[in-house]
Structures are given as structure tokens and as C-alpha cells.
Chains A and B, each alone.
Chain A
Amino acid sequence: MSQLVAREKEVTLLDLLDRILNKGVILWGDVTISVADVDLIYLGLKVLLSSVETAERMRKAKAQSSMQNMPCNI
């Protein structure tokens, strides 16, 4: 797997996590996933964000020419 593909997957997973764990219809089911678990993961996003930034910084030269391959899950 190329670095670029890895980066796209990482960014897309980050976007998925950001949405699926924190947004959407929030209902109180009879049993919902432990809120503590979700919050723990969501707190971890800050770390993940930083890792994305670090990856960006290291791959900046490559990234500049990658706009045609934007990480879109179309």
C-alpha cells in the first residue's frame, strides 16, 4: 500500500469516526453503547488529528501534487 493510499484511508477513517460517534440521530436506546467508551474514543480523536497533521507535514511535498487524488469515498 502506498503512503498516499494509507494517508487517504487514515483521513477517511478519521472523518468517519468524527461523524459516526459524535453526530447523526442520537436516541436513547434501551441499551446504548457505553457512553464512556464512545467518549473515550472521541477524546482519542485529538491524538488522531495530531497524527494526521504529522503525516501531512512529513508528506507535504507529495501531498501538494495529490489534489487530483483527494481522499473521497465516492
Chain B
Amino acid sequence: MIYLYAITDRPERPIPAEPGLEGAPLINLVCRDIAAVASHLTMVKVPPAEANLWRHEAVVEALMVDRTVLPARFGTVFTDEAAIQGTLAVHYAEFEADLKRVCGRVELGLRVLWDDNDNQPLDANHKKRLNGQRPAISGRAYLLSRLEEERQAQAQRQRAKALAKKLHTLLTQLATQSTWQVLVTPRLLLTAAYLVERERVTSFQRKVEALSTIFPELHFLCTGPWPPYSFVTAGIAMIPSEDMENARSQP
């Protein structure tokens, strides 16, 4: 079996001495001007244990020191080198386009938490009101109470969206691409990823620090630089079997 870590440009560069999974040496499988970096594996499946996840990440980060990488999703295993080379040939144009788009850029992650005391009063109030009115609460009163709760929740969601958008807009000025989600959980105001030029990473981090001063009621968690996991578009959920067969039959 063979495990795939990433697709890269600059296949002529020597691959790093970083060990792969099971301590196996890395190998470079070249297709024109791109390469797949992989290592041989005795396991059929790789358990998603923390050590294995970090090993995958360590290899990808070692590669991104001197080349552009498209990190593979954890656990992508092929039967042999020919299968990977076939995949490189089939998806060459997508890989090449993605590599050009993320070249010289890294990903920064951001999570912004907001204060639960200010923004999570609804459940507590709701319970208090219900407890206070029991057992005399009528069906009508209950429904009115729920309606009011819903109105407050909606207003809160709108406040969250407006605030998250404001923060996100300020940060996208330093990024070439971004993704964002509001209220993934009630206290996670903003979950975002930014594709940033390497030379702008420090500016981005300073901007986050500045925002944390401007918004002391929020807590900012910035991680990275990461390989551009969130900005890869190449690859597919499933390769039709005839395509795979065609790819493998190519010289």
C-alpha cells in the first residue's frame, strides 16, 4: 500500500528527510511539472490516532518550506505507485491550477468566541419564566413566551452575523481568499480561514491582536500558518471507475 500526503510543484527539489507514517521514507512520484509525495505503508488502513494525524501534518509542513503544496485529506491510501500516477494524470489540470492559485500563500485559522453572559441569556430567562409561572402558565402564555424567545434569538443571530461580518471584512483585506461561518455553535461567533501571502502573515496576526484590543469582550484564537487545506478545489469525492482504468492504462 502507499499513502499520499500532498501534491506539490517543483518535483525536481529533493524531498525532505522527514519520516512518513511508520517511519517510512518519503517518495516523489512525478507527472510533468507536479509531483505526489507519498510513502509505503504496511497497514491497509491508517488509524486516525493523534500521532498519525500529526505525522501527516509534519510531512506536509516540511514540504511547504520550499514548494507549494496541496495537502491530501488524511487517510488517502492507494494500492501502488501506478495508481497514484494515474490519478496525477487524470487530475493534472486541476492540480496545476490549484497550485498556481495557492503559490506563496498559507492558511490562517480564526475562531472568535463571544461572551456567554451577554449573549446567552435566553435559556436562563426562559427557564426562570417557566419556573416562576408554574403551574398557572396557560397555553397562550407559554406560546407568547416562546414567540418572544424566538424573536430574541433571531435578533441575537442578526447581531452575531453583523458583528462577525464586520470582523471578517476587516481581515479579508489582508487575504486573497477566505471562508467563514457564523455561530457554528452558540458561543462560536466566527469560524474562518484566510489564504494569506506568506509575507503578510505577521500583518494579519497583528491585525487580529488589534481587533482583540478594539473588541475586549470577544476572544480571538488564531492558528497557523497551515497548508492551504481550506482552499484546495482539486480532487473529487469519487473517480468513476472507467476514468481510473483509463488513467492506469496510460504509460
B77, B201, B205: the one contacting A31 at CB < 8 Å is B77
Contact partners of B77 in chain A: CB under 8 A: 29-33
Q: Please indicate which of the listed interface residues B48, B91, B232, B238 has the most CB atoms of chain A within 10 Å of its own CB.
A: B48
**Residue count of chain A within 8 Å CB distance of chain B:** 43
How many Å from the CB of A47 to the closest CB on chain B? 10
Q: How far, in angstroms, from A33 to B87 measured CA to CA in the complex?
A: 17
Q: How far, in angstroms, from A63 to B114 measured CA to CA in the complex?
A: 13
Interface set, chain B 104-139, CB cutoff 8 A to A: 107, 109, 111, 113, 116
Q: How far, in angstroms, from A45 to B77 measured CA to CA in the complex?
A: 23
Q: Are B185 and A49 in contact (CB under 8 A)?
A: yes
Q: Which chain A residue shows the least CB distance to B223?
A: A15
Interface majority SS (helix, strand, loop, mixed), chain B: mixed
Q: How far, in angstroms, from A56 to B218 measured CA to CA in the complex?
A: 11
Q: Are A72 and B70 in contact (CB under 8 A)?
A: no
How many Å from the CB of A33 to the closest CB on chain B? 3
How many Å from the CB of A72 to the closest CB on chain B? 6
Contact partners of B53 in chain A: CB under 8 A: 16-17, 20
Q: How far, in angstroms, from A13 to B80 measured CA to CA in the complex?
A: 31
Interface set, chain B 59-81, CB cutoff 8 A to A: 70-79
Interface bits A36-57 vs B (CB < 8 Å: 1, else 0):
0110010000100110110011
Interface residue? B163 (CB, 8 A): no
Interface size class of B (residues with CB under 8 A): 35 or more
Q: Are A41 and B238 in contact (CB under 8 A)?
A: no
Q: How far, in angstroms, from A15 to B198 measured CA to CA in the complex?
A: 19
Interface residue? A4 (CB, 8 A): no
Known: A30-B78, A32-B76, A67-B212. A72 touches B188 (CB 8 A): no
Contacts A18-B109, A31-B1, A72-B223 aside, 16 further interface pairs with beta carbons under 8 A come to: A21-B48, A21-B74, A23-B71, A25-B76, A25-B235, A27-B91, A27-B239, A28-B236, A28-B239, A38-B74, A49-B185, A53-B188, A64-B216, A67-B209, A71-B222, A73-B223
Interface residues of chain A, those whose CB is within 8 Å of chain B, are: 11-13, 15-34, 37-38, 41, 46, 49-50, 52-53, 56-57, 60, 63-64, 67-68, 70-74
